[in-house]
């Protein structure tokens, strides 16, 4: 591959090396102890093991099916294509508005010829770390809020489906559906910057997302960003290529804003006005502190580690990797136009960008939140007669119009700091699984077999029922060969 096309890679080589250097065992220990305290996940601890790096270990016994811990989102995004189906809080990913709004909005957008989405599964570890899966999402993602060119003017929305007027009255809550009050959702809080992209379930979520990352990426009239048009261009590029770039932008924005807050408090503590720091020099120790949550995540360079699509000949591998790198570089250039900050310039190097993208590929849990619309229709279906028939006179046309898509859940990608330390086993003792009561984007780790004190918690990154060779091939994408009990037993003898 040719030398990096990004001049910042050379200019900030030392700072980049410091940002990508593995944190010391003591830093790791202190960081996770603080996080476990904050998230109250006292049943587990993080240990560093020379063989597999960090791992999660139990502090007590667990029975099968018992909750081990819940982990909060550090950075996450709903898949662009899923935004047609599910209207959720942009911070915690709870469904918002009302069941009527969810149904009306989705059918209304479908009636405009917008795309619909895919299957849902409540088991949430993402295991398809392949280029083909990202190109699949590329095809879906560019459809977000754009007319599908295949469907232009002839949406799948059926002739007998409810009229636009009916859908509007559902969305305006002029028309209410029977028993929907039992599925009430939080009211909608708009973005403080006035953009029409992000909505929240509460002022707490709105303010926290604004302060931690959105104020730099907002395209609204009252946003702090002077470069809204550039943000729109960046987002359009991500939606038409790979929406993981949106997550990478959130990580960079999060780090810049954290850096500015740290710098502000440093000046406040030293009793000097912050405006007197007129240099544009990067304060590396502050940048390292701001970046710390992401320094902890396991990562390599995305275009080097991404798996080749199955149907691709290995003789074009170098070209494929170069194309991936160039796509990331194009995205980075657009992001630079939008939010570049000279003091945090090393974050805009291609080297850092490539590692952030890979961090999501290697560590991500799929973000999954079950839909209240599914629960609502199941509830109606289970009503006794004649209440059921009476209710269905109103609800049936909407269910028929939604078809199989009535149950699509909120789907996205997230980085969960504690979960991302869990190592793989083909005979895991835990799984990531959302229960009925888990109505926001946090992840939930459940025991699948009894676990004793001190035992390592493991999950399966892949379908552990696949044959040995296929499992190893999939795990090669994560950069290791599995030697768990099951693999040692099934390994063919030489
Ligand atoms: C999600 S991270 C897990 C935490 C990781 N050990 C760390 O230090 O941050 C995934 C990476 O951990 C390592 N890993 C996970 N399970 C493993 C296993 N069973 N054997 C060897 N390495 C493993 C691999 O390098 C993999 O890419």
**pLDDT tens-place string over residues 273-324:** 555 455 677 799 999 999 999 999 988 999 998 878 878 888 899 999 999 9
CA–centroid distance, 442 to ligand 1, in Å, is 21
Residue at 470 is within a domain: yes
Cα 268 to ligand 1 centre (Å)? 41
Cα of 246 vs centre of ligand 1, distance in Å, is: 25
Spatial neighbors of 123 by CB under 8 A, at least 6 apart, are 431, 432, 433
Q: How far is the CA of 234 from the centre of ligand 1 (A)?
A: 32
Tell me the CATH number at 445: 2.170.270.10
Let me know: does 205 contact 92? Beta carbons within 8 Å.
yes
Alpha-carbon distances of 227 from 79, 224, 329, 338, rounded to whole Å? 24, 9, 19, 5
Within 13 Å and on the Cβ side, how many CA atoms surround 141?
24
Atom of ligand 1 nearest to the CA of 422: 3
Rounded to whole angstroms, the Cα distance separating 422 from 487 reads: 18
Looking at the domain assignment, is residue 2 inside a domain? no
Instruction: Give the H or E element holding residue 233.
Output: helix 228-240
Q: What is the structure's pLDDT at 114?
A: 73
Query: Distance of CA 68 to CAs 45, 362, 445, 461, Å?
Result: 11, 22, 6, 18
The ligand 1 atom nearest the CA atom of 363: 1
Element (H, E) at 140: helix 131-141
Pairing label, strands 430-432, 365-369: unpaired
**Residue 316 shares a structural domain with residue 266:** yes
Q: In angstroms, rounded to a whole number, what is the distance separating the alpha carbons of residues 372 and 88?
A: 11
CA distance 374 to 434: 15
Residue of minimum CA distance from atom 9 in ligand 1: 298
Q: Which atom of ligand 1 is nearest to the CA of 296?
A: 9
Enumerate residue ranges in the chain where pLDDT < 50. 116-155, 276
Note whether residue 123 is domain-resident. yes
Pair of tokens at residue 6? 């990004």
98, 88 contact by CB (below 8 A): no
Ligand 1 atom closest to Cα of 297?
A: 9
Q: Give the full edge-to-edge strand order of the sheet including 443-447.
A: 67-71, 443-447, 430-432
**236/313 same-domain check:** yes
Verify that 352 and 468 share a domain, yes or no. Answer: no
Domain-located, residue 36: no
Indicate whether 65 and 13 sit together in one domain. no
pLDDT the model gives residue 112: 86
Ligand 1 centroid – CA 413 distance (Å):
19
| Residues flanking ligand 1, CB < 6 Å | 52-55, 298, 362-363, 420-421, 423-425, 478-480, 482
Output the pLDDT for position 223. 67
In this structure, is residue 216 part of a structural domain?
yes
Compute how many other C-beta atoms are within 10 angstroms of the C-beta atom of residue 486.
17
What pLDDT, on a 0 to 100 scale, did the predictor assign at position 124? Answer: 46
The preferred substitution site among 53, 359, 456, 491 for testing ligand 1, maximizing ligand atoms within 8 Å of CB, is 53
**What does the pLDDT look like over 393-429, one tens digit per residue?**
999 999 999 998 888 999 999 999 999 999 999 999 9
DSSP for 48-72, written as a single string: EETTTEEEEEESS-B-TT-EEEEE-
Strand partners, 70: 444
Question: Is the same domain home to 126 and 266?
Answer: yes
Q: Are 356 and 456 contained in the same domain?
A: no
Q: Is residue 104 part of a domain?
A: no
Three-point CA angle 27, 32, 37, nearest 5°: 130
| 170 belongs to a structural domain | no
Atom 19 in ligand 1: which residue has the minimum CA distance?
Answer: 424
Examine residue 57 and state whether it is found in any structural domain, yes or no.
yes
ipTM of this complex prediction, to 2 decimal places = 0.99
Nearest CA to ligand 1 atom 22: 52
Closest CA to 402 of 145, 104, 81, 169: 104
Q: What total number of domains does the chain contain? A: 2
Mean pLDDT computed over every residue of the chain: 87
The two three-digit tokens of residue 162, written as one number: 């409810």
Range of the domain at 493: 41-72+416-494
* Pick from 386, 470, 389, 363: nearest CA to 426: 470
* Residue 492 pLDDT: 86
Asked whether the beta carbons of 183 and 379 are under 8 A apart, the reply is yes
Q: In terms of DSSP H, where are the helices of 349-459?
A: 350-363, 372-381, 387-402
Question: How big is the CA angle at 61 (ends 55 and 63), to the nearest 5 degrees?
Answer: 105
Statement to judge: residues 331 and 261 lie in one domain: yes
CB-based contact 228:219 (threshold 8 Å): yes
| Ligand 1 centroid – CA 52 distance (Å) | 5
**Residues 260 and 364 grouped into a single domain:** yes
Q: From ligand 1's centre to the CA of 283, what distance in Å? A: 32
Q: What does the DSSP 8-state code read for residue 21? A: S
Whether residues 342 and 421 share a domain: the answer is no
- 53 Cα–ligand 1 center, Å: 7
Query: Do 61 and 140 sit in the same domain of this protein?
Result: no
The answer to whether residues 50 and 134 belong to one domain is no
Instruction: Assess whether 264 and 280 both reside in one domain.
Output: yes
Query: Rounded to the nearest whole angstrom, what is the distance from the C-alpha of residue 49 to the centroid of ligand 1?
Result: 10
Closest residue by CA, ligand 1 atom 23: 52
């Amino acid at each position: 591959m040719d030398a990096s096309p990004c001049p910042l890679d050379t200019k900030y080589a030392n700072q980049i090396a410091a940002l990508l250097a593995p944190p010391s065992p003591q830093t790791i220990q202190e960081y996770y102890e603080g996080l476990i305290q904050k998230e109250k996940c006292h049943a587990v601890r993080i240990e560093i093991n020379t063989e597999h790096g960090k791992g999660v270990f139990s502090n007590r016994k667990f029975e099968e099916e018992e909750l081990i811990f819940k982990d909060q989102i550090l950075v996450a995004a709903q898949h662009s294509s899923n935004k047609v189906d599910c209207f959720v809080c942009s911070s915690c990913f709870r469904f918002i508005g009302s069941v009527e709004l969810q149904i009306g909005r989705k059918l209304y957008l479908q009636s405009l010829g917008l795309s619909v989405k895919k299957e849902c599964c409540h088991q949430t570890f993402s295991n398809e770390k392949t280029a083909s899966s990202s190109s699949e999402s590329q095809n879906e993602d560019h459809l977000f809020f754009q007319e599908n060119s295949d469907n232009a003017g002839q949406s799948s929305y059926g002739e007998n489906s409810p009229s636009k007027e009916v859908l509007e009255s559902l969305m305006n809550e002029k028309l209410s559906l029977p028993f929907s009050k039992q599925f009430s959702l939080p009211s909608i809080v708009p973005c403080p910057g006035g953009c029409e992209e992000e909505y929240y379930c509460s002022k707490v979520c709105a303010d926290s997302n604004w302060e931690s990352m959105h104020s730099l990426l907002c395209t609204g009239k009252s946003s702090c960003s002077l470069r809204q048009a550039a943000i729109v261009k960046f987002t359009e590029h991500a939606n038409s290529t790979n929406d993981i770039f949106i997550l990478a932008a959130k990580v960079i924005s999060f780090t810049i804003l954290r850096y500015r807050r740290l710098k502000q408090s440093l000046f406040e503590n030293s009793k000097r006005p912050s405006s007197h720091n007129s240099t544009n020099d990067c304060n590396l120790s502050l940048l390292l502190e701001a970046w710390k949550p992401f320094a902890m995540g396991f990562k390599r360079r995305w275009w080097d580690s991404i798996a080749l699509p199955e149907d691709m000949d290995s003789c074009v591998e170098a070209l494929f990797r170069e194309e991936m790198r160039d796509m990331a570089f194009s995205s980075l250039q657009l992001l630079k136009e939008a939010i570049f900050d000279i003091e945090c310039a090393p974050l805009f190097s291609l080297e850092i960008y490539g590692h952030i993208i890979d961090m999501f590929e290697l560590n991500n849990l799929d973000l999954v939140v079950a839909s209240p619309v599914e629960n609502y229709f199941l509830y109606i279906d289970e009503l006794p007669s004649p209440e059921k028939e009476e209710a269905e006179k109103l609800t049936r046309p909407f269910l028929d119009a939604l078809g199989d898509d009535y149950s699509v859940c909120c789907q996205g990608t997230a980085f969960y700091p504690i979960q991302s330390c869990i190592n793989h086993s083909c005979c895991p003792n835990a799984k990531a699984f959302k229960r009925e009561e888990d109505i926001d984007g946090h992840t939930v780790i459940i025991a699948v077999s009894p676990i004793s004190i001190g035992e390592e918690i493991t999950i399966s990154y892949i379908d552990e029922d696949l044959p040995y060779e296929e499992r190893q091939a999939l795990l090669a994408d994560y950069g290791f060969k599995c030697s768990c009990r099951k693999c040692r037993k099934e390994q063919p003898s030489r």
